[in-house]
């Protein structure tokens, strides 16, 4: 029986299927919200206590000792579950508290679960306790913009990505005025504790807040967040206390899922090179994990490039009894040659396509760019200091900035004691494309970091790659290999002798599976000539169509698609690993608060092992500080952890490079990571990097 005819828009919108289709809430979301992450064993008890340990040692920075005197002596805190406590301790543990939490820096999947863990633990200890979320990052603390979190609000975001619940921002509380306003906010809200969920810079800020607010009785705790994966903590003896910041796994899995799809597409329509820039402001951890997840044809690892030495150059200098310091580290030009070599080698076996992964911060490891960044940081900071004006507001158009640099170069010519920006710097700088000049001169962020995400790194490199490939093509060194069976078939089909034509056309005929057209044959004209020389073509005769077709097939065009993976992965819903990790970080941070700690960062030890062995701990922040150049000055910050080229994960990737490049006949060795799977059994337990780096550890 035919159903009732629906004609009016009202009726359509009222239909249950339509209602379901346009609902903001879908089944995946409901499933995520309903999921309760497991809790580490210590949190299965009604109480948890801290046990200070001297097992882990740190090298203390003098400046940190001076500026953070009350928290520099903090030790690592182990957490133990307890079924009961003395009355006084139990009262202290369960007292009514007001706790503030803030997100600081870029979003990272799992942040909402840190809030959920903290909220649940705080309410469990005392249902009257309040948790406030500061809005839009540290500005919310400075301006007292906060919202009291409720069951409903927290429930809405459980196991979901982003920092949507309370938003985030990059403001740094770095002046006495901002500090005073922050203290005032804490007083007004009668806060017992403030939790800063952030990266290296934000945790640095947390340490200064902890020192400053000690007198007010406000505890300040940090939580290690960043997709970049560059907050990893080891003590001086190499004991791993925090193997990875949260959000890294989800972002890497999200990037890998899409890049894996590009590997599939690229090897299907075999016409594009996909150039994939992945986030990671400085460290290449994300690129390394993507390499392990996808087996893309080429993955540049910045830290590895910095290690590069030009042996030929060194030898030459040695022969002249000099030292060539430029032989250490890679230059942009050299890097482009390395990329070209890979492209040319794949083309030679018929693969004029592939996938290259470039870490966002790769330029930080390229010799001349590193020098430019440091010099420009100093020049801009000096300008701001001496003129009491902002460089970027004074010199708005690029030309004005360049003119200022030109004047500095002139000054160095006239006054030999001024060496910050010389004529050579100026000439080199003027040689680079203007979009890149603009990028290098962009404003630093509030923490003084160079904003790599705003620079089209891949375009800079690609420009050089394209130029060099053109040269190689003209020299006949960049050719697409022709499969020998295909060649024979075409010749036989055209009634031509494959052996005679093969010998005339290729320089490896009869040797390899993929045939390389001779370097001298780079046009129809030169093909004509080669055939004549081989006695296969007489004057006035036309080149056989199949021969010309083979030649044309061998001439590559380098077609690229450029992708940037960053913000999409940052906004992804967390993997189960990150859901578990972050929920337990939330529980850990409450345990630190309930036990009176301050200046500590919540962490989970043994992340690289089975969940049953995860150990929630507190890591003292002040001992992690060292001096680093920021905005042209030395500043105390937590040291970023970059890829260790001696780590097992990196060594495995290095050992697989040749295989994954696939510059050999046969299929590529791509791995299909697939999308993040929240349910089911096929999702991995943890990042592959962690899995590999744990091999060989005595306790793994």
Q: Which residues are known to be catalytic? A: 228
Supply the minimum distance, in Å, between the C-beta of residue 253 and ligand FBP: 15
How far are the Cα atoms of 45, 329, 342, 464 from residue 332, in angstroms, in the given order? 56, 10, 16, 8
Judged by CB under 6 A, the residue of 227, 462, 604, 621 near ligand FBP is 227
Q: Kindly identify the residues of this chain, within the stretch 606-645, that bind ligand FBP according to CB under 6 A.
A: none
Q: Does 108 bind ligand FBP (CB under 6 A)?
A: yes
Nearest 10 degrees: Cα torsion 519, 523, 529, 531: 80
- Tokens 């070209």 sit at which residue? 340
Token pair belonging to 671: 């791995």
Supply the minimum distance, in Å, between the C-beta of residue 360 and ligand FBP: 6
In the complex, residue closest to ligand FBP by CB: 105
Q: Does 279 bind ligand FBP (CB under 6 A)?
A: yes
Supply the minimum distance, in Å, between the C-beta of residue 444 and ligand FBP: 11
Q: Kindly identify the residues of this chain, within the stretch 412-451, that bind ligand FBP according to CB under 6 A.
A: none
Upper half-sphere CA count for residue 375 (Cβ side, 13 Å): 19
Considering the complex, state which of residue 142 and residue 344 has its C-beta at the smaller distance from ligand FBP. Answer: 142
Supply the minimum distance, in Å, between the C-beta of residue 231 and ligand FBP: 9
Q: Kindly identify the residues of this chain, within the stretch 232-251, that bind ligand FBP according to CB under 6 A.
A: none
3-state secondary structure of 389: coil
Token pair belonging to 383: 């300008």
Which residues lie below 8 Å from residue 11, measured CB to CB, with a gap of 6+? Answer: none
Q: Does 280 bind ligand FBP (CB under 6 A)?
A: yes
Computed on alpha carbons and rounded to an integer, the radius of gyration of the chain in Å comes to 30
Q: Does 139 bind ligand FBP (CB under 6 A)?
A: no
Q: Does 364 bind ligand FBP (CB under 6 A)?
A: no
* Exposed / middle / buried, residue 339 (Cβ in 10 Å: 0-12, 13-18, 19+): buried
Q: Does 105 bind ligand FBP (CB under 6 A)?
A: yes
Q: Does 599 bind ligand FBP (CB under 6 A)?
A: no
Considering the complex, state which of residue 281 and residue 401 has its C-beta at the smaller distance from ligand FBP. Answer: 281
Q: Does 93 bind ligand FBP (CB under 6 A)?
A: no
Q: Kindly identify the residues of this chain, within the stretch 446-465, that bind ligand FBP according to CB under 6 A.
A: 452-453
Q: Kindly identify the residues of this chain, within the stretch 140-199, that bind ligand FBP according to CB under 6 A.
A: 199
Considering the complex, state which of residue 104 and residue 336 has its C-beta at the smaller distance from ligand FBP. Answer: 104
Considering the complex, state which of residue 79 and residue 282 has its C-beta at the smaller distance from ligand FBP. Answer: 282
Residue pair 503/494 in contact by the 8 Å Cβ criterion? no
CB atoms within 10 A of CB 613: 14
Supply the minimum distance, in Å, between the C-beta of residue 110 and ligand FBP: 12
- Tokens 């597409």 sit at which residue? 265
Residue pair 683/576 in contact by the 8 Å Cβ criterion? yes
- Rounded Cα distance between 487 and 485, Å, is 5
Supply the minimum distance, in Å, between the C-beta of residue 445 and ligand FBP: 6
Considering the complex, state which of residue 426 and residue 445 has its C-beta at the smaller distance from ligand FBP. Answer: 445
Q: Does 570 bind ligand FBP (CB under 6 A)?
A: yes
Judged by CB under 6 A, the residue of 281, 473, 553, 631 near ligand FBP is 281
Considering the complex, state which of residue 131 and residue 196 has its C-beta at the smaller distance from ligand FBP. Answer: 196
3-state secondary structure of 615: strand
How far are the Cα atoms of 313, 323, 562, 594, 685 from residue 320, in angstroms, in the given order? 11, 8, 44, 67, 55
CB atoms within 10 A of CB 587: 27
Considering the complex, state which of residue 120 and residue 289 has its C-beta at the smaller distance from ligand FBP. Answer: 289
Judged by CB under 6 A, the residue of 37, 94, 100, 106 near ligand FBP is 106
Q: Does 228 bind ligand FBP (CB under 6 A)?
A: yes
- Rounded Cα distance between 323 and 313, Å, is 9
Supply the minimum distance, in Å, between the C-beta of residue 402 and ligand FBP: 25
Supply the minimum distance, in Å, between the C-beta of residue 665 and ligand FBP: 38
CB atoms within 10 A of CB 689: 29
Q: Does 673 bind ligand FBP (CB under 6 A)?
A: no
Supply the minimum distance, in Å, between the C-beta of residue 279 and ligand FBP: 3
Q: Which helix (H) or strand (E) holds 103?
A: strand 98-103
Query: If we measure between CA atoms, which residue out of 177, 102, 23, 38 comes closest to residue 582?
Result: 38
Judged by CB under 6 A, the residue of 159, 226, 257, 412 near ligand FBP is 226
Token pair belonging to 390: 């902002």
Stretch that binds ligand FBP, among 28-36, 223-231, 471-479, 651-659 (CB under 6 A): 223-231
Stretch that binds ligand FBP, among 46-54, 85-93, 203-211, 222-230 (CB under 6 A): 222-230
Beta-bridge partner residues of 629: 634
Supply the minimum distance, in Å, between the C-beta of residue 244 and ligand FBP: 13
Considering the complex, state which of residue 281 and residue 295 has its C-beta at the smaller distance from ligand FBP. Answer: 281
Strand order of the β-sheet with 560-565 is: 298-299, 354-359, 273-278, 560-565
Considering the complex, state which of residue 140 and residue 199 has its C-beta at the smaller distance from ligand FBP. Answer: 199
Q: Does 360 bind ligand FBP (CB under 6 A)?
A: yes
Distance of alpha carbon 346 from its chain centroid, rounded? 27
- Rounded Cα distance between 540 and 562, Å, is 45
Total residues contacting ligand FBP by CB under 6 A comes to 15
Considering the complex, state which of residue 282 and residue 530 has its C-beta at the smaller distance from ligand FBP. Answer: 282
Stretch that binds ligand FBP, among 52-60, 224-232, 323-331, 503-511 (CB under 6 A): 224-232
Q: Does 219 bind ligand FBP (CB under 6 A)?
A: no
Beta strands 354-359 and 298-299 are parallel
Residue pair 493/487 in contact by the 8 Å Cβ criterion? no
Token pair belonging to 68: 């953070």
Stretch that binds ligand FBP, among 25-33, 279-287, 294-302, 629-637 (CB under 6 A): 279-287
Q: Does 357 bind ligand FBP (CB under 6 A)?
A: no
How far are the Cα atoms of 106, 226, 274 from residue 255, in angstroms, in the given order? 16, 15, 13
- Rounded Cα distance between 194 and 210, Å, is 9
Supply the minimum distance, in Å, between the C-beta of residue 570 and ligand FBP: 6
Considering the complex, state which of residue 199 and residue 616 has its C-beta at the smaller distance from ligand FBP. Answer: 199
Region of residue 105 (left: phi > 0; alpha: psi -120 to 50; beta: else): left
How far are the Cα atoms of 366, 401, 537 from residue 316, in angstroms, in the given order? 22, 39, 48
Q: Which residues bind ligand FBP (CB under 6 A)?
A: 105-106, 108, 199, 226-228, 279-281, 360, 452-453, 566, 570
């Amino acid at each position: 029986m035919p159903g009732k005819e629906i004609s009016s828009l009202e009726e359509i919108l009222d239909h249950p299927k339509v209602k379901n289709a346009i609902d903001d809430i879908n089944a995946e979301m409901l499933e995520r919200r309903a999921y309760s992450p497991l809790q580490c064993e210590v949190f299965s008890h009604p109480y948890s206590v801290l046990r200070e340990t001297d097992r882990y040692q740190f090298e203390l920075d003098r400046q940190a000792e001076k500026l953070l005197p009350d928290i520099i002596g903090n030790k690592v805190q182990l957490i133990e579950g307890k079924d009961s406590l003395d009355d006084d301790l139990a009262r202290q543990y369960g007292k009514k508290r007001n706790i503030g939490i803030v997100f600081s820096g870029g979003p990272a999947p799992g942040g909402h679960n840190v809030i959920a863990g903290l909220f649940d633990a705080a309410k469990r200890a005392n249902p009257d306790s309040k948790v406030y979320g500061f809005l839009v990052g540290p500005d919310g603390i400075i301006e007292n913009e906060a919202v009291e979190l409720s069951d409903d609000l927290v429930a809405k975001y459980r196991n979901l990505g982003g920092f949507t619940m309370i938003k985030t921002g990059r403001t740094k509380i770095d002046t006495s005025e901002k500090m005073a306003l922050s203290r005032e906010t804490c007083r007004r809200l009668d806060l017992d504790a403030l939790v800063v969920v952030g990266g290296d810079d934000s945790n640095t800020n947390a340490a200064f807040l902890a020192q400053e607010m000690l007198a007010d009785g406000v505890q300040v705790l940090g939580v290690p967040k960043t997709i970049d994966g560059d907050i990893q903590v080891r003590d001086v003896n190499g004991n791993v206390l925090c193997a990875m910041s949260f959000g890294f796994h989800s972002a890497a899995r999200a990037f890998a899922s899409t890049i894996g799809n590009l590997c599939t597409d690229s090897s299907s329509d075999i016409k594009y090179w996909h150039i994939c820039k992945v986030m990671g402001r400085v460290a290449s951890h994300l690129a390394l994990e993507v390499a392990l997840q996808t087996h893309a044809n080429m993955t540049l690892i910045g830290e590895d490039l910095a290690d590069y030495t030009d042996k030929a150059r060194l030898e030459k200098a040695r022969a002249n009894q000099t030292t060539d310091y430029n032989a250490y580290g890679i230059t942009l030009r050299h890097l482009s040659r390395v990329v070209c070599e890979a492209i040319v080698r794949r083309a030679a076996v018929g693969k004029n396509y592939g996938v290259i992964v470039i870490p966002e911060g790769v330029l930080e490891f390229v010799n001349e760019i590193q020098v430019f960044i440091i010099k420009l940081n100093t020049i801009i900071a000096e300008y701001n200091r001496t003129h009491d004006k902002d460089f970027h507001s004074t010199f708005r158009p690029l030309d004005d900035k360049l003119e200022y640099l030109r004047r500095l170069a002139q000054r160095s010519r006239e006054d030999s004691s001024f060496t910050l920006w010389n004529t050579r710097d100026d000439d080199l700088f003027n040689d680079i494309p203007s979009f890149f000049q603009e990028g290098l001169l962009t404003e630093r962020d509030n923490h003084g970091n160079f904003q790599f995400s705003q620079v089209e790194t891949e375009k800079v490199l690609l420009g050089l790659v394209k130029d060099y490939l053109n040269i190689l093509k003209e020299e006949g060194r960049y050719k697409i290999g022709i499969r020998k069976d295909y060649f024979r078939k075409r010749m036989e089909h055209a009634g031509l002798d494959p052996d005679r034509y093969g010998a005339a056309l290729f320089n490896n005929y009869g040797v390899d599976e993929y045939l390389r057209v001779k370097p001298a044959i780079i046009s129809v004209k030169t093909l004509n000539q080669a055939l004549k020389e081989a006695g296969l073509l007489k004057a006035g005769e036309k080149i056989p169509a199949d021969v010309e077709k083979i030649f044309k097939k061998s001439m590559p065009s380098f077609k690229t698609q450029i992708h940037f993976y960053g913000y999409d992965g940052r906004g992804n819903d967390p993997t189960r690993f990150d859901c578990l990790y972050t929920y337990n970080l939330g529980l850990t941070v409450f345990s630190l608060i309930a036990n009176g700690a301050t200046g500590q960062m919540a962490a989970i030890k043994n992340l690289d092992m089975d969940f049953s062995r995860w150990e929630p701990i507190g890591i003292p922040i002040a001992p992690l500080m060292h001096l680093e150049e920021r905005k042209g000055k030395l500043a105390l910050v937590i040291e970023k952890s970059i890829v260790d080229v001696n780590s097992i994960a990196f060594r495995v990737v290095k050992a697989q490079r040749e295989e994954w490049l696939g510059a050999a006949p046969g299929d590529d060795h791509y791995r299909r990571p697939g999308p993040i799977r929240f349910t089911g059994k096929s999702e991995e337990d943890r990042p592959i990097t962690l899995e590999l780096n744990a091999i060989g550890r005595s306790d793994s």
